[in-house]
Chains A and B, each alone.
Chain A
């Protein structure tokens, strides 16, 4: 397994996979990120991020679910592994912990200036 450091984009992709649970594949992840974040992403960036996540063991994949829209081609369906879920939770916890550590006066002083 590669290092477990999760980049910002990788985190977003991992979250998108979690949101689209059961139907998370390249195009779906692109749609999800574009909807949620309001910015356009390249398919290549998503594919390469998914690839990296899988190498790190945060997601797993299997082939399946062909539709006419895709010209009868199969999708690679990703799902978050237990390890992936724990990584997301750890990030969230770390953020919360840091939020909690911000003293109440911080915002006030900023506003004063």
Chain B
């Protein structure tokens, strides 16, 4: 004979608590009465109806306490005052707390910005989701090779037979350096020749002109900076520009520079593809073996990349399998596919047809480290604020005795920690704003604060809330639950109740902190050692005072002897030599070599570099055997100088004088020719210093494209450069004088490793700093808690040294545990990292020992300050009754 239950819950949940009693009473009374009058079923129905009618806003309004309104702001002001007083009284703790958290937050923000930058790569293009690059997979030597270079006739195939899948198909050259001449001004800029639809497909932000501006054959679109560099403030539209020496174009548009985190950030101008083909005889042949084209495509909205790929994959094969001259190519089974724009940046390396996720892992690794630094800071913050709040048990007791409600106290503690977190956050924002330019330089990026990004604010707000809630929850919910009598009677009661259980999580946190710190220290040391190891590698030539000038246009050719004479006449230059590719790169490699004891040509690729005989002296070759090329022997034009790696690969005991047969499509017109080895030189590190040297042959084939200039060491570089420039200006007036120093170029090869090293040390320093802050705070807190114990021990005869040892051992043990965890994990990771390098340092045991010892010393120093201070206190002071 009871009413249904659920309406009662509703009533208690929604209606004002002070009314619920009478309402329930009335409901029950009416229910009992109605059972008698109209029966149970109807009574129940009425009961539900009555409850429903009671759920109205006027009855839900909570009771207003008379004293709430006038004292609310007063109490809030009091809370604020107490909060600030607490911060000032515990000056050191507050500094550690706020400073540590701010630094951690700043680091997290910087890494967050970096992550954002990496993940938003190319999102500048509005049709990001629909653009793809056309790629080709071929099987060579049993391995799938993925390539962005496509055969020329594929453009026509795609544009005719497969047009329906795509909104735009855009052909482009690779970005290359060109000389832009307008009147007297000459600039060397990187640019691309690209189809007229490109501005629309890549949604260029046009400052002048429109997306249709590239339709004219002889038109060029300039980036804003290029336009400014060429024409200053004058209107560039309609001005004539000469590209290299053979192309005349008219400026028809100016676009905003592509941001640094886009695919085309190097591209400073876009010119018409059709014009490029028209002026380039090789391109005009449009042959299937011309692999010099990039193709970008925008899919139709109703078609997926997978569908489009499925239909175009045999676009090339279907044609070339019928062509006699392309039989070899068809045998490699060329498959055409689409690589969506969102994969261009982070999945750009392909191994055997599969994208490697190294760069993605790198991105997430940095993110993870940032997260860990933040975690360290948060751990400190929570540790210290809970530790400090234990001292406030008395305050809670008094407040309660005076009449504070528990909810008010909870509010007080939570808002206090919110205040501290907000202060730390503002400090962090300040730090980030100030250090962003420095960090941009370090990371080679153009990041800016995301002031207008709602996601950034949402994330920050969420983080502030979470941290303040977590760090404030202990005092807020635990301390306020005590009965005031107990807290006030025995001051230490609250502390005793906490006991061992409270210190265990704190220990775990310290171990976590030091594991992260030690890991980062070891990583930093190893990265730097690896860089140093590669820097100390013998390079096989002398980099200092070596100038490299690219032969940018055809005007250079045929003038090299003249240049050599004129340059040496200035006295600033000792030697001049030509070479194919600069000394710091290998731009040409071929296979098809056959040597003694081989019936078939080897499939090994050799670097094949075309040089002039002066090369040896100019760069300082070190001969192991044999001699250099000589102009006096005409037969040297069919001679090779090889490097040690090549000699080793060929397995020839006395390579000088041996004959090598070489058949190459490009270099020997597909005819096998004999070459004689004239000499063997020491290996030269031309490519990455972390990789093993390629087997190399040097030859005199007569088409080098770089000029190497050895400066006279007796002449000051600053004095030499204008003299050299004058010679170039006189002999080749059409090209700007551009040069590179070999040692500068060589240094850039370390840039990405140095960046990792700098980032790692940055994180390591911060992690150690934050961990030490936390440790310092904890040590002082523990020392303070044990003041009486230390006093008693001293009275009973303990020495300062013993007390110091007692107080420090706890922490030392924790650091040792952390070291035990950090060592195997770092060994595992670093071993994997080093395996990426062919030329690598060893992971020696002393690195681990040194970083462990370092962590131990830092810990001891941090803790000792506090423990010695505590041990030196006169027991009279610490034991005095309060």
Contact = CB atoms under 8 A, between A and B. Distances in A.
Interface of A: 25-27, 30-31, 40, 42-45, 47-48, 51-52, 63, 66-67, 69-71, 73-76
Given A26-B23, A74-B22, A76-B22, A47 B28 contact: no
B53 A27 contact: no
Nearest to A29: B26
Contacts of A26: 22-23, 25-26
A48 B30 contact: no
B49 A42 contact: yes
Contacts of B23: 26, 43, 47
A42 B53 CA distance: 6
A73 B28 contact: yes
Contacts of A48: 56, 58-59
Given A42-B49, A42-B53, A74 B30 contact: no
B789 interface: no
B30 A30 contact: yes
A48 B23 CA distance: 11
B11 to A, nearest CB: 10
Given A31-B33, A51-B59, 18 more contacts: A25-B26, A27-B29, A27-B30, A27-B33, A42-B50, A42-B53, A43-B26, A44-B52, A44-B55, A44-B59, A47-B19, A47-B23, A47-B59, A66-B25, A70-B29, A71-B24, A73-B28, A76-B22
B29 A69 contact: yes
A93 to B, nearest CB: 30
A73 B53 contact: no
Residue among A25, A44, A45 with max Cβ neighbours from chain B (10 Å): A44
A31 B26 CA distance: 11
Which A-B residue pairs are the 7 nearest by beta carbons?
A: A44-B53, A73-B25, A42-B53, A26-B26, A70-B25, A43-B50, A44-B54
A85 B839 CA distance: 104
A68 B820 CA distance: 70
B712 interface: no
Given A30-B30, A44-B50, A73 B24 contact: yes
A40 B56 CA distance: 19
Nearest to A55: B58
A82 B19 CA distance: 25
A71 B25 contact: yes
B155 interface: no
Interface string B20-55: 011111111110110000000000001001111111
Interface of B: 19, 21-30, 32-33, 46, 49-56, 58-59
A46 B870 CA distance: 71
B59 A69 contact: no
A28 to B, nearest CB: 9
A77 B23 CA distance: 12
Interface of B is mostly: helix
Nearest to A49: B58
A16 to B, nearest CB: 14
Contact of B58 (A25, A52, A63, A71): A52
A42 B626 CA distance: 114
Nearest to A74: B21
Contacts of A44: 50-56, 59
B50 A25 contact: no
Contact of B54 (A43, A69, A70, A75): A43
Contacts of A52: 58
A73 B56 contact: no
Contacts of B50: 42-44
Contact of A27 (B26, B49, B56): B26
Nearest to B58: A48
B26 to A, nearest CB: 4
Contacts of B21: 73-74
A64 to B, nearest CB: 10
A47 B49 CA distance: 14
A49 B46 CA distance: 19
Contacts of B26: 25-27, 30, 43, 47, 70, 75
A66 B59 CA distance: 22
A28 B860 CA distance: 79
B28 A70 contact: yes
Contacts of B33: 27, 31
B9 to A, nearest CB: 16
Contact of B22 (A40, A42, A45, A63): A63
B27 A43 contact: yes
Contacts of B28: 69-71, 73
A48 B33 CA distance: 22
Contacts of A42: 49-50, 53
B23 to A, nearest CB: 7
B250 to A, nearest CB: 82
Contacts of A73: 21-22, 24-25, 28
Contacts of B52: 44
A51 B52 CA distance: 17
Contacts of B46: 40
29 contacts: A25-B22, A26-B22, A26-B23, A26-B26, A27-B25, A27-B26, A27-B33, A42-B50, A42-B53, A43-B23, A43-B50, A43-B53, A44-B50, A44-B51, A44-B55, A44-B56, A45-B53, A47-B26, A47-B54, A48-B56, A48-B58, A67-B29, A69-B29, A69-B32, A70-B26, A71-B24, A73-B22, A73-B25, A74-B21
A70 B31 CA distance: 10
Contacts of B56: 44, 48
A20 B27 CA distance: 18
Nearest to B53: A44
A69 B26 CA distance: 9
Contacts of B27: 27, 43
Nearest to A41: B53
Contacts of A45: 53
A58 to B, nearest CB: 16
Contacts of A40: 46
A52 B49 CA distance: 21
A29 to B, nearest CB: 9
Nearest to A66: B25
A44 B33 CA distance: 17
A70 B25 CA distance: 5
Nearest to B52: A44
B4 to A, nearest CB: 15
B46 to A, nearest CB: 8
A52 to B, nearest CB: 7
A103 B24 CA distance: 51
Contacts of B53: 42-45
Contacts of A70: 24-26, 28-29
A103 B29 CA distance: 48
A60 to B, nearest CB: 15
B58 to A, nearest CB: 5
B840 to A, nearest CB: 81
A16 B457 CA distance: 59
A59 B22 CA distance: 17
A18 to B, nearest CB: 19
B826 to A, nearest CB: 68
Interface centre among A25, A31, A71 (most CB of B within 10 A): A71
B649 to A, nearest CB: 96
A54 B58 CA distance: 13
A62 B32 CA distance: 24
A74 B28 CA distance: 12
